[in-house]
Structure 1
Amino acid sequence: MITYVYLITLAIIPYFLLRNVEVIINIVFTACLIGFAFLAFYQTSRKEKIISELYEALQSEFRTVKRRLVTTDKLARKEEREQIARDMHDSVGHQLTALLMQLEVMRMQSTDEKTKKQLSNIKDLAKISLDETRSAVKTLKNEEEGGLSAIIRLIRKLEAESHVRITFSIKNGAFTAPLSNEQTVAVYRVVQESLTNMMRHSHVKEATILFESVANNYFQVEISNPFEHQSCVKQGFGLTSMQERMEHVGGKLNVQKSQGQFIVRGMIPLERKLIDK
């Protein structure tokens, strides 16, 4: 502003000495218009900056509340499952156990072989029902999430927390690939480490993730992101850790740089018994 006023003064002085009032008025009027324009631009920029900071704060608060709601909802579902499991164990389980005892007493007291055989069959059915009830109670208490759906949920959470834009692509029945819990964890850790490397070294915070089932025998994951450095890829601790995780579950990892893209590709063999099942 001081520089602006100084330049206007320098422009006016020659005409002031020549007493050219009309030119002086035009210069002052134009200077005032430009000054108001600069002032309006400054105020608008300042307001935009304040709004942007407020938006970022609200967005961060929204993510915090969203994570809290997800956690609360998960705890609520867990408590509900445990309550149902307790009710099933205390009511159905105990009643079936009492029924088994009564059937055994009736079978021992019966003198008719045909009746004993019928009671024995009923007892077997009651025992099967009791075993299924116990299995259902155990499942409710120990709910395990696995497979590709669990990986996607975990990555979406990472995406929301890290301001990263992730594009998913699922091909050839990868969504129903029978991944074990150990394989699921290995794939997720590879994706997580790849995204962490991307956030550290890439100028663009976006990545593409491809999940694919190859010939129903292998599960393939590919993570690619823009990569501007021209130097060769160095095998650091992160890449070594990813490679060890894949090898631990019988898979392999390949890292390469191609056409401005940094690509991490992992492949895991699917267990035949899981596929047949």
Structure 2
Amino acid sequence: MNNRRPPAPLLDAALVGVSLANAWVNVDFEEQPAMACALLGACALALRRRLPLTTFVLTVPTALITDAVFATTAALYTLSSLSRHRVLLVGCALAYGVTDFLPWPWWALKTSQLSGTRNLVHLSYTLATAAAPVFLGQLVQARRELSLRLTEITEAREHERLLASQSVLAQERAQLAREMHDVVSHQVSLIAVQAGALQVGGRDAETRQAAATIRQLSVQTLDELRHMVSVLRASGIRPTELTPQPSLADLRRLVDGSGIEAKLETDLPEDLPPTVQRAVYRTVQEALTNVRKHAPGATATVRVRCVDGTVLATVTNTAPTRPSLPLPSAHHGLAGLGQRAELLGGTVTAGPTADGGYELRLEVPFVQNR
């Protein structure tokens, strides 16, 4: 439903035009005082929004001297739609009705003109004519106020609904934080302890190195997990910053700590947007994790470069040299990478290579800062 109204200046100009036409039809051009009052009343309608009472007063002579009462009616309607002073509105309506009923000039009024059934009907008609714009204006004012009140109620309900949803979300986050702290943190701590024991008591250097890598990754995971738990618990109570987000400067540490033999080749500008840097980091992180899980003994090559305004990141691994162990997986990693890349206008593709390995490729466009 279209509730658009014409612009206020256009509507005011239309009312002035209709009032002038009403004066042209009902006023004799040779009667200069009457024509002056009619023109004054018509032009006064341009002030009806800013000075409604003054506008009505300026239009009263039109109803007193002439039959061109459109300007007075419009002014009284405007005053009624903008004012809450009931006594003032009643007085203005009576003034309009009396001036429209009494003949002009007043000093030529005869007593016989105020009596009789015909005059009583005429008086009733003029009073009804004066009351009509008052009632209509008050109705419009009540409708406008009701619309505003309904808008306020709707906004208040939306706010209450938002608060309720935030409360439910905060409870769910608190429950999730408890589960993560009580279950996941405990299990990762056991992994770190067992890896530390294996690192100390291992019989060969390769085993101790693998145990050290497992312990390092477990400790890092615990730190990130604890911070995530604190973020979940504080959500909705106070603003909480996430841990510093990874960037391309962290790629070397990520590759070196991946626990596999990997080579890193980078050729990128230094002013890449942070979102692009995080996308590259998370892609490399996911790819190296998949190599470690599904391709034991394989080596990996990480290449990150920029070509024609597009960041290309590829992680390619060779064929595994040992059979992989079945590990639990929800297969959400690649899907999450694809969604992240799609938000940046890029793509993620993955598939096997000709030599039995696997390749993960990220392409993300970017605008270089100048």
Provide TM-score, normalisation by structure 2: 0.32
Q: Which has the higher contact order (CA 8 A, sep 6+)?
A: 1
Which structure shows the bigger proportion of residues in strand conformation?
A: 1
